Amino acid sequence: MRLEGKVAIVTGAGSGFGEGIAKRFAGEGARVVAAEINTQTGSRVVDDITADGGEATFVRTDVTDTVSTKAMIGAALDAYGGLDILVQNAGMGMKPMPMHETPEALFDKLFLVNVKSIYLGVREVVPVLKDQGKGGVIINTVSTAAIRPRPNLAIYNGTKGALVPMTKALALELAPDKIRVNGLCPVAGDTPMLDDFLGDGDRNESYKRFVATVPLGRLSLPSDVASAALYLASDEAELVTGVMLEIDGGRCI
Ligand SMILES: NC(=O)c1ccc[n+]([C@@H]2O[C@H](COP(=O)([O-])OP(=O)(O)OC[C@H]3O[C@@H](n4cnc5c(N)ncnc54)[C@H](O)[C@@H]3O)[C@@H](O)[C@H]2O)c1
């Protein structure tokens, strides 16, 4: 029980990596707030956790919205009386296209969902963690896209790239309060988002092309990302802050 007694919010908990993280955290004793824009999937994950004997609450959350983000933090405090861990995982992908053909509206949406959401979450959670005075953990789901970008995903890469200095600068800002801030950098993962990245061509061919770029020979799974998040969230990572933890089978070497 590596998260016994901890309260954790996981955004985008209804699918993919977020679902994996929420379930693993609950299995390790955390009380979990599953924050998700999709009521159906978010509720299903909470039902699964409860059925397995864990403790979780669903809070419908739009991480791009100030009021909704504030309510998400408030819901954790109301339900569990405190907050220790915020995993900012919700995000969106894009279909491959050259940068110069990427529509402006898509550019704006990607930066809203993948970057502004991180700022909004930080704005709400930091005062709470500071007031509690017992440290805390913020984990941002970044991506290998920030470190070793693929062509035709330039704007998505840019959103994840922005999170590297944001995460590192925040780690420095919050170190005096013993609040650790780290990033997860998974390689392309077997989640619903993958279909965006694979594009509209032959799925099997695109999938094989992606796998061929990973020295260890497979894409990432929610369980891989959940294991990394668990380490960063736990007290075992007490001296770890400001890192971009690659979960990538060697893709970024
Ligand atoms: N799948 C990959 O290849 C890959 C690789 C590296 C990083 N990532 C990142 O991992 C994170 C999770 O992605 P995933 O692959 O699990 O995708 P996913 O599509 O399976 O899950 C994303 C979840 O976020 C939720 N979401 C989207 N917008 C939201 C909003 N405004 N408010 C609240 N929830 C919202 C979705 O409803 C969905 O449940 C994302 O930040 C993504 O960019 C994905």
Q: Is the CB of 11 under 6 A from ligand 1?
A: yes
Task: Considering only CA atoms, give the Rg of the chain.
Answer: 17
Measure 176 CA to ligand 1 centroid, in angstroms. Answer: 31
Q: What is the pLDDT of residue 24?
A: 98
Residue 118 lies in a domain: yes
- Tell me the three state secondary structure of residue 59: strand
- Give the CATH number for residue 72: 3.40.50.720
Residue 253 lies in a domain: no
Residue 13 lies in a domain: yes
Q: Torsion angle, CA of 202/156/36/43, rounded to 10 degrees?
A: 10
Q: What is the pLDDT of residue 68?
A: 98
Q: What is the pLDDT of residue 58?
A: 98
**Four-residue CA torsion sign, 14, 26, 79, 85:** negative
Q: What is the pLDDT of residue 126?
A: 98
- Sequential pLDDT tens for the chain (253 residues): 999 999 999 999 999 999 999 999 999 999 999 999 999 999 999 999 999 999 999 999 999 999 999 999 999 999 999 999 999 999 999 999 999 999 999 999 999 999 999 999 999 999 999 999 999 999 999 999 999 999 999 999 999 999 999 999 999 999 999 999 999 999 999 999 999 999 999 999 999 999 999 999 999 999 999 999 999 999 999 999 999 999 999 999 9
CA distance 154 to 8: 32
Residue 252 lies in a domain: no
* 119 flagged as catalytic: no
**Number of domains forming the structure of the chain:** 1
Domain hosting residue 216, numbered range: 7-244
Residue 25 lies in a domain: yes
Active-site entry in 80, 156, 207, 231 = 156
Position in ligand 1 atom list of the atom nearest CA 68: 32
Q: What is the pLDDT of residue 48?
A: 98
Q: What is the pLDDT of residue 221?
A: 98
- pTM score, whole prediction: 0.99
